[in-house]
A and B are shown apart, each in its own frame.
Chain A
Amino acid sequence: MKTTPLLEIASADGEEPVFKPGDTVIISTRFPVGHYRVPRYVRGKKCLIEAVIEPRALNNEEEGFGRNAGQKRHYYRVAIPLTELWPGYVGAAADGLRIEVYETWLEVAQ
Chain B
Amino acid sequence: MTPSEELVRHLPNDIGGLPADRIDCTDHELLPWEKRCHALADVLDYHKILNTEEKRRGVEALGSEMIGRLSYYERWIVAFANILFQKQILTPEELALKMDEVAARHAREA
Contacts and interface: CB of A to CB of B under 8 A. Distances in A.
Q: Do chains A and B touch in the complex (CB under 8 A)?
A: yes
Interface of A: 31, 33-36, 39-42, 60, 63-66, 68, 85-86
B24 to A, nearest CB: 22
Contact of A68 (B9, B51, B87): B51
Contacts of A41: 16-17
Contact of A31 (B9, B51, B87): B9
12 contacts: A33-B8, A34-B57, A34-B60, A35-B11, A35-B57, A35-B60, A40-B16, A42-B16, A64-B53, A66-B51, A66-B54, A85-B17
Contacts of B87: 66
B79 to A, nearest CB: 12
A41 B10 CA distance: 11
Q: Is the interface of B mostly helix, strand, loop or mixed?
A: loop
Interface residues on chain B, size class: 10 to 19
Contacts of A42: 16
Given A33-B9, A65-B54, A68-B51, 9 more contacts: A31-B9, A34-B60, A35-B11, A39-B16, A41-B17, A63-B51, A63-B53, A66-B51, A68-B48
Contacts of A86: 17
Contacts of A68: 48, 51
Given A34-B57, A63-B54, A68-B48, A40 B8 contact: no
Interface in B2-41: 8-11, 14, 16-17
B89 to A, nearest CB: 12
Nearest to A32: B9
A36 B13 CA distance: 10
